[in-house]
Amino acid sequence: MSGTLFTRLIAGGIAATLGATSAVQEGFYLAILLGLFYGLYQGYGFIRWILIVLLGLGGLGGAIGAFVVIGRSPWGALWLLIMAGVYLSSGWLLWKSTRLRAFIRDRQARRTL
């Protein structure tokens, strides 16, 4: 359960509909992520919330996945917990960062000029 399960499902669904290979599916996944981060860079505030939700869901999914596999792979469970922590802390920083909010406001002002 990765942090971007929802994004992977969207990318995989689009690629599968088009009959794409695994490499093309990864390309869709990368394009979606790059689009989200580009939109965040351009100052679209709603994308910040999309990323917060995706990172939060990914962190929770990673933590649940760690407890599911702990009996079979303790090191894998540890890795999943570490990644869950990274996703949750990234979402927390996106949510609480006053500098990011100021950056988005500045980018919005520049975009409307």
Q: Render pLDDT for 15-36 as a digit per residue (tens, 0 to 9).
A: 666 665 666 666 777 788 788 8
- Alpha helices of the chain — where are they, by DSSP H? 5-17, 22-42, 45-69, 74-96, 98-112
Using only the alpha carbons of the chain, give its radius of gyration: 16
Which pLDDT does position 30 carry in this prediction? 74
* pLDDT digits 0-9 by tens, 42-61: 999 999 999 899 888 888 88
- Could you write out the DSSP letters of every residue in 30-55? HHHHHHHHHHHHHT-HHHHHHHHHHH
Give the global pTM. 0.71
Give residue-wise pLDDT tens across range 56-74.
Answer: 888 888 889 889 888 998 9
DSSP class of residue 18? T
| Domain limits, the chain | 5-112
91-111 residue pLDDT tens: 999 999 999 999 999 998 887
Q: For position 82, what pLDDT does the model report?
A: 92
